Amino acid sequence: MTGIFGLQNVNEIHLFKPKYRRGECLLEIGECLDRGWTGLGYKTIEFEDKWKDYSGYKNAHFLNSSTSGLFLTLELFRDKYGWGRHCQVITTPLTFVSTNHAILNAGLTPVFADVDETLNLSPASVEQLINESTVAVMFVGIGGNPDNYREISHLCKRYGLRMILDAAHMAGTKTDNSHYGTTCDAAIYSFQAVKNLPISDSGMVCFLEEDDDHIARKRSWLGIDKDTFSRTSSDRRYKFRYNVEYISNKYHGNALAACLGIVGLRYLDEDNNRRRQLRGLYTTLLSGNENIHIVQHCTRTPHSSKTSAHLFQIVLLRCSRDNLIEEMNDRGIFPGVHYISNLQYSAYKGFQNSCPRANEYSNSLMSLPLHLFLTDDDVRYVARSILEIIANNLA
């Protein structure tokens, strides 16, 4: 039974549960309240700077969601490069709908390539679809997995395409020397409540070009050309005669949300280490079963690559994913599915579906509980339950 107002019952094992360092968060938030500054600027700038130090991105702009960031990026590139409605962005159907809604909302045409066993876009499938109308590739590192990233970025270079990274799952996916995404034209992170660096609702857009970052800062606040904090702090007279350069919308993040990010970032590597341990334990417990295929991460990347381990996903072979989920629910375990192919939604029914693997995974993928409150025993219980249910059903 789900608890009151959808809160989680302590005996249940849920897919996600964000962890916040309450004391440290409240200290940061207290500073905002004392100062009377909870909006754009101040802690938002501090968080952007800390994120740049951590990740190696040259530019980073804090937003109210990654959905905003995806749209802002596509709209900005559309105007910058003069892309019209016929211009095609190659993308994946196996993602959260934000990715593809953004392409459509910006008035561009999504073209769906298929994924491979990494669950990320297949480089071969992408290359087949490139034509004279192609302008960009949207890459999603599912579950934090950087597999195929390098191959796709080589393709983008070779064909002169923009590469946009939906890095919603990838906070902390890096090699010894660099964070994944720093070579993309734009990378967009989500700090939504269940992501690896959970805030509540927030995102970050990281542009390769400084000019794009400047424009995004204006466009994320109705086209106004300066944030209020720098206007009031650098010049004590309120400069109300700012210019408005764009007809845009309001997408920027706020200082209270940034506080949670500043604290969460201190622990991101430590938290991701624990996530990788949990992935390792699941892998040990479930490997060798012929009905389960484990989606590995970092199988085609440089040796020092580390996944953020946002998800642990399995593919069910020869048995029904939906039945398994129901029986797991009966045992108090609540897995998830990332994702159902977007092409199966009615809003996407007009688009060409030549993505057989994405279709197949829509019915057979499952994400197991993965968060920082799980004990090793919880993971053993989940794995044992899966193996028992499958064995009973096939008997």
Picking from 186, 191, 207, the residue whose alpha carbon sits closest to that of residue 138 is 186
CB atoms within 10 A of CB 14: 18
Q: Which is nearer to ligand PLP, 78 or 169 (CB)?
A: 169
* 98 belongs to the binding site for ligand PLP (CB under 6 A): yes
C-beta of 90: minimal distance to ligand PLP in Å? Answer: 16
10 beta partners: none
Cα 343 off chain centre by: 19
C-beta of 244: minimal distance to ligand PLP in Å? Answer: 26
Supply the DSSP symbol for 114.
P
Site for ligand PLP in 167-206 (CB under 6 A): 168-169, 190, 192, 203
Picking from 299, 272, 310, 306, the residue whose alpha carbon sits closest to that of residue 166 is 310
C-beta of 191: minimal distance to ligand PLP in Å? Answer: 7
Q: Which is nearer to ligand PLP, 59 or 192 (CB)?
A: 192
d(CA 148, CA 119): 10
Amino acid at 15: L
Q: Map residue 98 onto helix, strand or coil.
A: helix
Q: Which is nearer to ligand PLP, 88 or 367 (CB)?
A: 367
Q: Which is nearer to ligand PLP, 248 or 385 (CB)?
A: 248
Q: Which is nearer to ligand PLP, 99 or 313 (CB)?
A: 99
C-beta of 258: minimal distance to ligand PLP in Å? Answer: 14
Supply the DSSP symbol for 371.
-
* 305 belongs to the binding site for ligand PLP (CB under 6 A): no
Q: Which residues, 6 or more positions from 284, have their beta carbon under 8 angstroms from its beta carbon?
A: none
The enclosing H or E element of 232 equals: helix 228-234
Among 73, 88, 95, 272, binds ligand PLP (CB under 6 A): 95
d(CA 322, CA 344): 17
Amino acid at 71: F
Q: Which is nearer to ligand PLP, 99 or 153 (CB)?
A: 99
Amino acid at 292: I
**In Å, what is the CA distance from 30 to each residue of 264, 297, 327, 339?**
16, 40, 45, 39
* 67 belongs to the binding site for ligand PLP (CB under 6 A): yes
Site for ligand PLP in 137-166 (CB under 6 A): 140, 166
Among 96, 180, 207, 361, binds ligand PLP (CB under 6 A): 96
What backbone phi and psi angles, to 5 degrees, belong to 289? -85, 125
Picking from 337, 333, 257, 316, the residue whose alpha carbon sits closest to that of residue 96 is 337
Listed ranges 48-56, 96-104, 206-214, 313-321: which one lies at the site for ligand PLP (CB under 6 A): 96-104
Q: Which is nearer to ligand PLP, 126 or 197 (CB)?
A: 197
d(CA 153, CA 149): 6
C-beta of 348: minimal distance to ligand PLP in Å? Answer: 15
d(CA 173, CA 348): 30
Among 55, 65, 125, 254, binds ligand PLP (CB under 6 A): 65
Listed ranges 62-70, 103-111, 322-330, 370-378: which one lies at the site for ligand PLP (CB under 6 A): 62-70
C-beta of 194: minimal distance to ligand PLP in Å? Answer: 8
Q: Which is nearer to ligand PLP, 44 or 98 (CB)?
A: 98
Listed ranges 76-84, 90-98, 226-234, 283-291: which one lies at the site for ligand PLP (CB under 6 A): 90-98
CB atoms within 10 A of CB 6: 6
d(CA 82, CA 174): 33
C-beta of 326: minimal distance to ligand PLP in Å? Answer: 24
C-beta of 168: minimal distance to ligand PLP in Å? Answer: 3
- Residues in contact with ligand PLP, counted by CB under 6 A, come to a total of 14
Residues engaged in binding ligand PLP (CB under 6 A): 65-67, 95-96, 98-99, 140, 166, 168-169, 190, 192, 203
